Each structure stands twice: as C-alpha cells, then as structure tokens.
Amino acid sequence: MNAFTYNYPVTVYFGEKAAADNLPAELAKVGRNVLLAYGGGSVKKTGIYDELMGILRAAGKDVTEFSGIMSNPTYDKVREGAKLAKDNNIDLILAVGGGSVIDCCKIVSAQAKLDEDIWDFEYSKGGKPTEFIPMGAVVTAFGTGAEMNNGAVITNTEKMMKSPVWGAFYDFAILDPIYTMTMPMKQVISGAFDSLSHSMETYMGMPREVNLTDEINEATQRNIIRNIRATLANPQDVKARSELVWAAAMAENGILKTGKATDFQCHMLEHQLGAYTDCNHGQGLAVLHPVLYRHYLPEAAPQFARMATEVWGIDPDGKSETELAEAFIDALSDFIKEIGLPTTLSEMNIGDDTDFRAIAETTVRTGGCPKKFTTEELLHVLDECR
C-alpha cells in the first residue's frame, strides 16, 4: 500500500429525518444569507423544498435561490451561481439534489472567493483555491458520492471539455434515504451503477497486489450489486435504498482510495463522450466498461481474476487467471443487461455522426490505469461500443 494521509472534513448526517434533526444546528453556525441551489424543480414536487424552506425560515435566514442546474453542469452555470453568491453576500450554500447540483456548488463556492477565472487558474496556472463559502448538501439523488469530496465535473462548452475542477469540501452532508424514494427507477439504477464504477475504478489502480483498502472495496462492490437487485425486486425497499445511499458515499469518501493511485480511465472517456453528446453518465459508463476492460485484460488479469472470485462469486476451480478475468468481464456485462442499462451507444441515441475521434483525442490518460491507451486504441473502444 502507498503512503497516505487520511483526513475527512465532511460531517455526515445519515437516516430518516436527518434534515429536521440536524440542519437547524448547522444553520446556527453561519450568517443570515443562504444560497439555496437545486436543479429542475423535482424538489418542489416531492415536498423537500417546502420542508427545507420551513427550516430556513425558522432559523431566520434570508434565502436566495439558484435553480435550473442541469444534469451536466456547465461552466456558465458556475459563473451564474458565483455572481449570485457575491452579489448577495452569501454565508452558506445549501445544495439540494444529486451529483450535478452538488458538483456545481463546489466550484461556485470557490469561484465566488476567487478574483480570477477558476478554470484558467487551475488548468493554466496549476493553482488550487484555498478560500470558500461554507456549504451543506442535502442529497436527494444518490450515486455519484459527490457530497463526499471536493472534485467536480464541469462541462466547459467553449472548450468542449467535460473535466474535473477542484473546489470546496462540504461542511456537512444530509443523507436521508427517504428523500431518494421518488427518484425514477432509471435514475436509481444509473446512479447505483456509477457507484459500482467508482469502486471498480479505484480497485483497478495501484498498488495492484492484495491490500486492506481493496478488500473493503470488494465488500462495497458486493453490497452495491446485491442491493441493486433488491431495489429492482422491490423499489420501495427502504433498507436496500439505505444501503445504496451509503455505498455511494463510501465509494467517494476516500476510504476506498486510501493508499491507492486510482484508475478512472473509463470515467475520463465517458466525460468526453458526455461533453460531445450530453449523455447520461451512468449509462455511458455501463456501455464503456466491458469493452474498455477487454482492451486491458492482459495488463489487468490478476485484479480482474480477484474480482471474479471475491465480488462475483465465480468458482475458480479449474480456471486459469485469464479465464477468471474473462469470466469477470462476462459477469459484469450480463449484470448490466440484467438491470436494464444500455450496452451500446446506439441504445443511448448516440449516432454515427458523433465526432468519436475528437472524443478519443481529448480524453485524459490516467496514470493509474493498467494500460496506457493511444488515441487510436480509444477510438477502437468507442467504435466497438456503437
């Protein structure tokens, strides 16, 4: 295992009525002005908006609303939020929603305190912001685990890049599984698969020998697989939903990354696919993962073989390491079909007129990936996914 320093700054309030029980005390720590951020309005239909507004009013807060945050948040939306935060002297950003809202607000928090453009500051100057507006997250759509870290994925439409930008950690996160029960089932499964992808992407990094961090990861993967199946069998199973909400957080709170240099090559490829098509993130990962994994099977066979036996329960008797590795990819592919996620880009309405070469050329190559991909190899992956 690599050397590491582990520090976790986010206070997590988990369970039913977590907002009513804990948000008032958090609001008492900050000033009067709150930026309430959310997406397309589902929080109003479900009653979550009214509940939170009641808590905010009871705490004597002045609320500025920042709404309309899209599923793939743009850099223009970040700028809009930062301006609102500055103009209204915001003391706390309360992000209500899933990964898109939560990611967007991390960068709003940083940009509002920075006197220069944060994209150029990070990508041209190599800087990292150090001042932030305090933040809280109320998770209503799980999967990304975005509330657990300070990284955000933002689409810069001018540069045609969907890329990581580093912002603020949340001071606290409220995870009430009941808030997620009105999510459309397609979104539930897509988000849960993103959690599984996060776990696999971390597992496939370095070091590659057996270690405690990876053994915890194996348990997380088993949990996600089991509870996706339980949720499909009974969408109102609160116990299964609770497990998925916490598994999403576990996949991104740093525990599974302790002592690891992660892979995340599939995520980088999907991000650029999203930059060019605005596709659903979890669905894109489901299409890409099996094909990409077959391309680096020779380099990753030991880890794939371990996942075959330790995660998917495949009997190793009589099988070579390569055969076990292939069995893992087959099991993953079969699972994706079983849970109703797409297996080709055409199923996602991504047509042949998409600029796949540009996607391959602009995809970040990650240091922790077992295989070092060329543009042509990534283009082959995309072609095979059509």
CA dihedral 183, 195, 285, 78 (to 10 degrees): 70
Range 256-272 average pLDDT: 97
91: Cα within 13 Å, side-chain hemisphere: 12
Angle of the 75-87 helix axis to the 99-111 helix axis, nearest 10: 60
97 dihedral zone (left: phi>0; alpha: psi -120 to 50; beta): left
DSSP notation for 257-282: GTT-B---HHHHHHHHHHHHH---HH
Extract the tokens encoding 294: 């077959």
Asked if the model's pLDDT at residue 273 lies above 80, the reply is yes
Residue 151 confidence (pLDDT) above 80: yes
pLDDT at 208: 93
Structure confidence at residue 76 as a pLDDT band (50, 70, 90): very high
Tokens of 225: 């697989």
SS3 198: helix
For residue 4, pLDDT beyond 90? no
Domain boundaries, the chain: 11-180, 189-385
**C-beta of residue 263 within 8 angstroms of C-beta of residue 288:** no
pTM of the model: 0.94
Residues 341/189, Cβ–Cβ less than 8 Å = yes
CATH number for the region 11-180 comes to 3.40.50.1970
* pLDDT, position 41: 82
DSSP β-ladder status, 135-139 and 92-97: parallel
On whether the CB atoms of residues 30 and 79 are closer than 8 A, the answer is no
Instruction: Give the confidence band of 261 by pLDDT, cuts at 50, 70, 90.
Output: very high
Q: Average per-residue pLDDT in the chain?
A: 96
Greatest alpha-carbon pair distance for the chain in Å reads 68
Nearest residue to 286 (alpha-carbon basis) of 386, 351, 194, 188: 194
Question: In this structure, are residues 71 and 280 in contact, taking their beta carbons and an 8 Å threshold?
Answer: yes
Answer CATH for 189-385 from 1.10.3720.10, 1.10.357.10, 1.20.1090.10, 3.40.50.970: 1.20.1090.10
Tokens of 220: 């997380």
pLDDT number for residue 6: 84
Kindly report, residue by residue over 283-323, the tens digit of the pLDDT: 999 999 999 999 999 999 999 999 999 999 999 999 999 99
| pLDDT band for position 2 (cuts 50, 70, 90) | confident
Which own/partner pairs from 376-379 qualify as long-range (CB within 8 Å, at least 24 positions apart)?
A: 377/295, 378/269
SS3 category, 294? helix
Q: Given this model, what pLDDT does residue 172 score? A: 98
Give residue 228's pLDDT.
Answer: 98
Residue 73's SS3 state is: coil
Identify the CA nearest to 109 among candidates 80, 136, 75, 82.
82
5-61 confidence digits (pLDDT tens): 888 899 999 999 999 999 999 999 999 999 999 998 899 999 999 999 999 999 999
> Cα–Cα distance between 23 and 19 in angstroms, integer?
5
Interval 200-218 mean pLDDT? 96
Query: What is the rounded CA–CA span in Å between residue 350 and residue 386?
Result: 8
Which pLDDT belongs to residue 327? 98
| Contact predicate 371/296, CB 8 Å | yes
Residue 125 in 3-state DSSP?
coil
pLDDT at res. 222: 98
